[in-house]
Each structure stands twice: as C-alpha cells, then as structure tokens.
A and B are shown apart, each in its own frame.
Chain A
C-alpha cells in the first residue's frame, strides 16, 4: 500500500516537469502569435504613414480629385462618406435593434424563429458584392434612387444589418433575468420593461457591436463599385439624392493609377480612413464606459 502510494507521488513529481515544460511551450506559441501579429501591424502602419504623411496637408482636405497628384484632394470623399454614414447608422441601428428586440423579447421560440435566426447569421457571411447587386437592383433601379447617397447608404445598411442584429441580440440576452422579473413584478408592461430596464442595460453592448459593424461600412469598396458610385466628383452633395463619392472609392482609384505619387496619395487617404475608424471605435469605448459606470 504505502509502497504504491510513494511510487505514485514520485510519478506525479516527475510529471510536474513535463507539465511545466508544456506550459512554457504553449505560452511561447501564444507569445509568438502576438508578436507576429504586432509586427505585421507595425510594418503596415509604418509603410502607410511614411508614405502618406507628407501628403496630409491642408490642401489635401480642401481640394477635389485631380489628375495632378499635387493638387488632388479628398474633400468630396470625406464629406461623401459622412453623408453616407448619416444614412447607414440610423437605418441599420433602428432596423437592427428593432429586429433584435423582437426576436429576443416577443417572438415565440419556434421553428420559424429559429429559421429566421439561422438566416440572419448566414447573411452575415454573404460576400459584400452580393449586397451591391441587391442595392443596384432594388434601390438604384426599382426605387429609382440612382447612384445617390440614399441608394448607397441603404445598401451599406443592409450589408451591416446582420452584424448589428446579432450584436444587439447578444447584448439583450445578457440582461439579467432578475432585473426583468423585478420590473414585471412591479406591474410594468413589456414595453416599459424593454424601454426602462433592458435597453439601458444593453446599450453598451449594442453600441460596441454596432460601431464595429459601421466601421465595416466605411471601409467597403465592392458594393459601392457595383452600385455605380462615381469616383470623380468635384462638388459636394446638397441632398440625399445627389451623387457622391466615398473614401474607399477614391483610395481604390489612386492605388490603381500608374504614377507613384497617386499611390502616396492613396496612403494619405488610408490614414484618414484609419483616423475615422479610430474615432468611431473610441466613441464606442466612450459609450460603453459611460453606461457601465452608472
């Protein structure tokens, strides 16, 4: 008896080294992964910033596109992207959060709901070109919006909608049952509970998820090309049915030009795109912190 116990503990001691070694190896793998990713990111940022930074002048923001690289600017694209996002954000937020509330709070958990749920998840994986084709057929041609801000904004809203829905659903699902039950217990109706208990609790999660989705809408090129958004636009839109151009279109055009100067302009455009994205992500973080603190 005693003998076998001692053998066992000796065995365990001898295995400890093995386990510790394994631990080290795994830690090494994860560390390498992190370093590798960081290096790629740093190289990418370094290249873009060193290429583009000299071109980030005040004129660059003030000028429209031009055949002369030194006179070319990004004004129409930046303003166009802002206009487009002013369509994308409300559309996707209202439709997305609305759908999520319905699916989580109202819909019966039956086959139909599960089928809808599955389709929403699948939609999130559909290539963006397909959404572009949908936008071209429905918004540009059937609704007759032409290649306007409205058509592109709705197309982009559809593109990010599945992600917004799924993010909002996760956030709503994370609301503790006790809170909702307490609200019902006090005699609140379903809508009162959703409005006063569920949404305030879920907003940080919804905001974080949605803003990541909106960032995608800012960076996508393919649906815009398919919808037929022009690249050269030397005026600012004055309404939602006007033509416009967006940042990724301008960047895409500049990278495909033969002259190196245009490639540098593209890098400058990418810096602006990154700045817009970082700005949006910080808004997400800010909203999350604000609501979590309460």
Chain B
C-alpha cells in the first residue's frame, strides 16, 4: 500500500533529520570548547550523579561551572531523592550520590556488600526553618520540647493553647515535607526521635506546596529548607528556636554557619566512590572542583557555606586517596 509506505518513509526521514541535526550541533560544541581551553589538561569521560533534590541546586551549579572548563566531561545530575540515589550508588550506576542526611546503616551495609568504598563529603549547611503564618502574632519562639509536643502524634487534634498557656484555642494545621525526603528524615531524627508525626499533617514532596499551605492559613505551622523561607520571607514568619544554650536563635546565614542555630542546622552531603576517584581522572578533577567551588556556589543557590577550613580538610582527604 502506497500511503503506508509514504508514511513510514516520511517518519524515517523526519527522525533522521532530527538526529542529523543533533549530531552536527554536538560536534560543533565540542570543537568550540576544545579550541578555547588551552592551559588545563582536557579530560574526557562521563560522570553520573544522582540523589537528593535538596542538594540538586548545588550539584547543578557545580556541574554547570565544571562543564564550562571541561566540555568533554559529560556530567549528568538526577534527583531521585536521597534514598533513591543511594540505591543507584550501591548498584554502581552513579559515581556520586547527593544526600540531605547522613548515610543510613543499611545503606552502609549495602555498599559494603557491593564492594563500594566511599568518602563522605559535606558541601554546605541548610537551616531547617520552622515557619508560621504572617498573621500569627502569638508564637515568639519555640523550644525543642515544644516542637516535640507540636509535631508528635498524640491521637487528638491539637490546639495552640495545648502547647503554651495563653495561646489561642484554635486547631493547628501542620505542613511537613514527605516521608521520603531527607528533610523529613532529619526532622524525624532530631525532633520526633523516630516517633509518629501528627497524623493530620499535610505531607508534600514539593516544598512550594508547604509554603502555599502556611501562607494561606493563620493557624498553620510548617518546616522546610532555609532557601524556601528566604524566597518567601515576605509571606511567612520564621520562628526562633531555642538552642542547647537556652538562647532563641533565628536562622540566617550567620547563625547557621556558626552552628548557633541548632539543632535544626544540617549539613548537605555528597558521597563519592573511592575507586572512581582513583581510577578516573575526570571524577577526581570533578570532586576537587566541587570542594573548591562549593562555598560560593552553595550561597548562590540559597544555602550556607561551611567554614573555609572544612573544605580544605576534605580536599586533602580526596587528594590522599591513592
């Protein structure tokens, strides 16, 4: 049948054209990049990174900058989440795995069984910010115990007056990151101690949903990464958290960096495979590049840099891998 043939043919030609066009483009890019760079040794290779969507903006920034210097190293960054990233790391499908919490015991065991040696690197700090509605004029500060009382499920609906006397007898609405996220894991560890989060809480993997929720309801409370608070600080009120020394601290670049904002400051990690660093020049260069530039790039995307010497120390560890 003629029409059928014509159709198949045009489909083939069409896809061939698309492909041809891509091929050319690619070659052009490669050549242009090669010509410009002269001093640094040009590396080639492929680096797969996956993991936490919280760490993703930093990883994206590092990859973007690195590929300007080394256009022939093809870096890809995914956002399967901390747990999903480790699964791929254990399976040997990635060379680096981003995480917004420290590695768990079972993941350490998985890596051991798979024979993957790894190094843990810290890239930046994030301060989990506890926020309430802008019109909430009663919450001035919260202690860790009060956070516990707020968020742990006690089988009943909670009112603000249950938490502290004098607060209004209005029902509290909770907004929390989803249980798959490293953000939840961290909060679970330092505040909930593994206990059940209030069952009425709205859980969402998308932090913007939490921002919307807290913005829209006077009696709501939520928590998420500092960057989300920073972008929406006109619509939200951040709650100072009483730290171990009994001082109420508001999260900001200073207090997160100095460690004064605790216990809700958390480091963001990336885990790198030792054998990849040792055997692949590109991975080694990329890891070094990451540590050299993480401070500036992390602040670019809304996180807080570690103190300078932390990066230097980690760089030495990487250089010591032989």
Contacts and interface: CB of A to CB of B under 8 A. Distances in A.
Interface stretch (B186-194, B222-230, B237-245): B222-230
Contacts, number: 118
B98 to A, nearest CB: 11
A235 B28 CA distance: 11
Given A66-B64, A228-B93, A238-B26, A253 B56 contact: yes
A232 B60 contact: yes
Of B3, B22, B60, B78, chain A has the most CB atoms within 10 Å of the CB of: B78
A234 B75 contact: yes
B48 A86 contact: no
A230 B77 contact: yes
A237 B23 CA distance: 8
Of A64, A89, A231, chain B has the most CB atoms within 10 Å of the CB of: A231
A231 B56 contact: yes
Contacts of A232: 56, 59-60, 63-64, 75-78
A64 B64 CA distance: 9
B297 A67 contact: yes
B230 A67 contact: no
A259 interface: yes
Interface in A228-246: 228-238, 243, 245
A141 interface: yes
A147 B48 contact: yes
Interface stretch (A42-50, A104-112, A195-203): A195-203
A256 B207 contact: yes
Contact of A89 (B3, B11, B22): B11
Interface size class of B (residues with CB under 8 A): 35 or more
Contacts of A196: 1
Contact of A260 (B59, B231, B297): B231
B74 interface: yes
A82 B18 CA distance: 8
B29 A235 contact: yes
A291 interface: yes
A256 B181 CA distance: 13
Contacts of A103: none
The main secondary structure of chain B at its interface with chain A is helix
A129 B88 CA distance: 17
A230 B76 contact: yes
B207 A258 contact: yes
A236 B27 CA distance: 10
Contact of B80 (A64, A83, A228, A256): A228
A200 B4 contact: yes
B25 A258 contact: no
Interface string A58-97: 0000001111000000000001001100100110000000
A225 interface: yes
B178 to A, nearest CB: 12
Given A86-B19, A243-B48, A258-B208, A235 B57 contact: no
Given A203-B3, A291-B3, A258 B26 contact: no
A195 B1 contact: yes
Interface residues of A, number: 43
A147 B93 CA distance: 9
B48 to A, nearest CB: 7
Given A225-B80, A230-B77, A234-B75, A67 B60 contact: yes
Interface string B188-228: 00000000000000000111100000000000000001011
A228 B64 contact: no
Contacts of B297: 67
A65 B60 contact: yes
A255 B206 contact: yes
A228 B15 contact: no
A114 interface: no
B1 A231 contact: no
Contacts of B67: 234-235
Given A67-B300, A257-B57, A235 B26 contact: yes
A83 B80 CA distance: 22
A69 B189 CA distance: 34
B133 interface: no
Contacts of A147: 48, 76, 78, 93
A255 B207 CA distance: 10
A290 B93 CA distance: 47
Nearest to B78: A230
B91 interface: yes
B37 to A, nearest CB: 15
A67 B232 CA distance: 18
B115 to A, nearest CB: 17
Given A147-B76, A203-B3, 13 more contacts: A66-B60, A67-B300, A86-B19, A199-B4, A200-B4, A228-B93, A230-B78, A231-B60, A231-B77, A232-B78, A243-B46, A253-B56, A256-B208
20 contacts: A64-B64, A66-B60, A83-B18, A86-B18, A86-B19, A199-B4, A225-B79, A228-B78, A228-B84, A230-B50, A230-B78, A231-B56, A232-B60, A232-B77, A235-B67, A235-B74, A236-B26, A238-B23, A253-B53, A257-B57
Interface of A: 64-67, 79, 82-83, 86, 89-90, 140-141, 146-147, 195-196, 199-200, 203, 225, 228-238, 243, 245, 253, 255-260, 263, 287, 291
